[in-house]
Amino acid sequence: MTANAPSAPKRSTAAPTLADDVRADLDAAITALRTGQRTWRALTLAQRRTLLQRVRVATSAVAAEWADTASVSKGLAPGHPLRGEEWLSGPYAAIVALDAYADTLRALAVGRSPLDGVRIGAAPGDRTVVHTSPLSATDALLLSGYATEVWLQPGVDAATARREAGLSQLDPASAGGVGLVLGAGNITSIPYLDVLYELLASNRVALLKVNPTQDALVSVFERALAPLIEPGFLRIVRGGGDVGAYLTQHPEIDHVHITGSEATFRSIVWGPSHTPAAAGAATRRRREGRPLLKKPITAELGGVSPIIVVPGRWSDADLRFQAEHVVTMRLHNSGHNCIAGQVVLLSDDWAQRDAFLDALRTAYDRAPSRPVWYPQSQGKLDAARTSYPDAAWCGGGTRALIETTPTDAGILETTEYFSPVLGVVALRGTGQEFLDSAVAHANERLVGTLGANVLIDPETQKSLGDGFERALADLRYGTVAINAWTAFGFLTPTATWGAFPGGTLEDAPSGMGVVHNALLLDHVERTVVRGPFRPFPRSASSAMRGYGLSVLPKPPWFVTSRTGAAVCEGFTRFRIDGNPAKMALTLVKAFGA
């Protein structure tokens, strides 16, 4: 600590003991951020936009190292077909977010709303809908056929949405304080994006504690975010649970944001449970409404995500494509995703039920092999083996496929496995009856409210009419994806990401609050993603019947894409440099998927 730094503040008796030098470094980082907060408040919106452009340059310079380091840390050797995941979920997500936030700041700087020129519509239940992507020709080209929309809470009208878009940037000199970001350990862009949201949504400078699983990326983050670190808007620290616990209790931290497990959230809010005595004290505090944490907290905590398969008349190609889609939802990042699809809700009365299950088993078994790398995930796989001894083990015994009934699905529906465990639960009915039953089942039986996926062919969706949109409105999830994976909403910076509203300190299975949200919308309820049921060229026949066109073949994020690594890298490089010739070559590769 510097000679003129303030004396160490008084500590809570609950704060853990750290080595003196570690504690001093953490205190010094917070002191620097307190100074940086004053500088941040003095910046104009135009200056903040310029700062983001500098961050973009720095991030672009380390993009390849970022993707490579992340791949190696997850056991993906050079040439592995799934390395593209680390391009999309790392530097790609960072670059598109920076561009979207810069556009918002540019609008606000000249007195316009970020929603000027953005289409606004309506959804059931007196909801206003903001159509948040595509907003550019590049979005429409690279992500053809995919769109996102943000549904605001019932009763919020379009005028209010336009007026209040901007959040803290409507008053850039407001004091947001110092926020603590407890970074996720699975997807490498999460801590980066959470830092941006602290700065831009809440005017908070940030102390980022990197999850130990991402220690190898600290050097990359420090260089990518150097324009924020230099003036004192960001500090990055390492450490385990003891460092996190010390920081959450630090009196100079004004707000905590965590991406992690519900167990970690409970430990932060109510106290640790590592011994019987500690668990008893935490339980008493929770029962009496006396949280250990004395400051606001937001969180993204995951859950058990459903994949609702609505019965229809599908071709053999449809069955194969959507089976690979489901497998992608489960096996991306080896299943170590808070938003991984875990429970397929399938109709027992669907004439093509067995054909779909055959396609699903085949795709699940043949998907590329990869390590189960996240800490404690092997234990989750072992628990699934014990709970469901009749499960099929695919991919050389590395991934579980559990087919069961609602009566026997309790553990599957209340345990976020965070590993390659996929369940299929059979329900009754077809058409609207099945859809309504599946929505109710997801809402009432599955733990969490983060994301839900719905697969439905366009003919069946058309036959359901308004009943389909009403069913979507009934799904209590923060992101709902139709013919897409909810992770597309995560990847879209102008969409919002977080649990469905209503989480509390006492009960927040998927967390509280949202992130990303580059349009800085207020009063958010959910994001809805809409994608193509069929890829190109089969989408052309659907388009001729009025069901929309996608010129994208098999999406490069599918785990079954042969060219996914090259295409995802090409997409990222195009976002960085906009080179049309190189992009043309990438699109040629995309058609070889």
Q: DSSP assignment of 393-448, as one string?
A: EETTTTEEEEEE-GGG-HHHHH----SSEEEEEEE---HHHHHHHHHHHHHHHSS-
Q: Are 331 and 560 in contact (CB under 8 A)?
A: no
Provide the pLDDT for residue 550: 85
Place of tokens 């599908």: 314
What's the rounded Cα separation, in Å, for the pair 304 and 340?
8
Residue 111 CB partners (closer than 8 Å, separation 6+):
none
What's the rounded Cα separation, in Å, for the pair 574 and 581?
10
Q: Are 224 and 62 in contact (CB under 8 A)?
A: yes
Provide the pLDDT for residue 486: 98
Phi and psi at residue 121, to the nearest 5° = -135, -155
Peptide bond into 535 cis (omega under 30): no
- Domain range 20-114+165-260, CATH class: alpha beta
Q: Are 198 and 206 in contact (CB under 8 A)?
A: yes
- CA dist 325 → 370, 400, 486, 494, 556 (Å): 18, 17, 12, 24, 11
Which region, left, alpha or beta, applies to residue 246 given φ > 0 means left and ψ of -120 to 50 means alpha? alpha
Sign of CA dihedral 485, 491, 495, 500: positive
Which of 88, 93, 94 is closest to 58 using CA atoms? 94
- CA dist 116 → 110, 135, 165 (Å): 12, 11, 10
**Which superfamily does 304-447 belong to?**
Aldehyde Dehydrogenase; Chain A, domain 2 (3.40.309.10)
Provide the pLDDT for residue 16: 59
Provide the pLDDT for residue 2: 35
What's the rounded Cα separation, in Å, for the pair 308 and 331?
17
Q: Are 509 and 303 in contact (CB under 8 A)?
A: yes
Residue 420 CB partners (closer than 8 Å, separation 6+):
330, 331, 334, 335, 372, 381, 395, 398, 399, 400
Q: Domain locations in the chain?
A: 20-114+165-260, 304-447
Which of 255, 216, 261 is closest to 241 using CA atoms? 261
Provide the pLDDT for residue 5: 34
Place of tokens 């969490």: 448
Task: List the pLDDT tens digit at each of the 593 positions of the chain.
Answer: 333 333 334 444 445 589 999 999 999 999 999 999 999 999 999 999 999 999 999 999 999 999 999 999 999 999 999 999 999 999 999 999 999 999 999 999 999 999 999 999 999 999 999 999 999 999 998 999 999 999 999 999 999 999 999 999 999 999 999 999 999 999 999 999 999 999 999 999 999 999 999 999 999 999 999 999 999 999 999 999 999 999 999 999 999 999 999 999 999 999 998 898 999 999 999 999 999 999 999 999 999 999 999 999 999 999 999 999 999 999 999 999 999 999 999 999 999 999 999 999 999 999 999 999 999 999 999 999 999 999 999 999 999 999 999 999 999 999 999 999 999 999 999 999 999 999 999 999 999 999 999 999 999 999 999 999 999 999 999 999 999 999 999 999 999 999 999 999 999 989 999 999 999 999 999 999 999 999 988 888 777 777 777 888 899 999 999 999 999 999 999 999 999 999 999 989 888 77
Provide the pLDDT for residue 17: 81
Which of 529, 583, 516 is closest to 100 using CA atoms? 516
**Dihedral angle of Cα 75, 415, 481, 485, to the nearest 10 degrees:** 20
